[in-house]
Amino acid sequence: MKNLILLLSASLFLIFSSCKKNSSNVVPVCDGSTPTYDTNVEIFISGRCLSCHGTGSSNGDMSSYAKLSAYTSNGKFEKEVLTNQSMPTSGPLPESELNMLKCWMENGFPEN
């Protein structure tokens, strides 16, 4: 019985510690600025995303405002970039960029 309790505690510990990655993500906060696709986001996307999400990419083409809009409107941009922070694949974005994208989202992803 004692062993069973030990085993259960160990498994619970493993389960909770494996969730740690998500809970330690930065929570993006909009600082009140009003970024637009044309002035802020396009250059961010071309530097951070187009190497994998360029024209015709099977991972998702994000090479223009219209193409990217498919992912901002179906919620996948928010999920991958702001919530799970699983994109870009190379690792977490700087907090300033996450905050800029958060503002862009809160303002309804404006083009200009």
Could you list the residues that contact ligand HEC (CB under 6 A)? 48-49, 51-53, 59-60, 71, 76-77, 80-81, 87-89
How much helix, strand and coil, in percent to the nearest 5, is found in the chain?
Answer: 60, 0, 40
Question: How far apart are CB 98 and ligand HEC at their closest, in Å?
Answer: 10
Question: Is the CB of 11 or the CB of 51 nearer to ligand HEC?
Answer: 51
CA atoms of 90 and 110, how far apart (whole Å): 27
How many angstroms separate the first and last alpha carbons of the chain? 65
Question: How far apart are CB 80 and ligand HEC at their closest, in Å?
Answer: 4
Question: How far apart are CB 63 and ligand HEC at their closest, in Å?
Answer: 12
Question: Is the CB of 30 or the CB of 42 nearer to ligand HEC?
Answer: 42
Distances in Å between the Cα of 85 and the Cα atoms of 36, 39, 40, 76 are 21, 23, 19, 11
Question: Is the CB of 71 or the CB of 109 nearer to ligand HEC?
Answer: 71
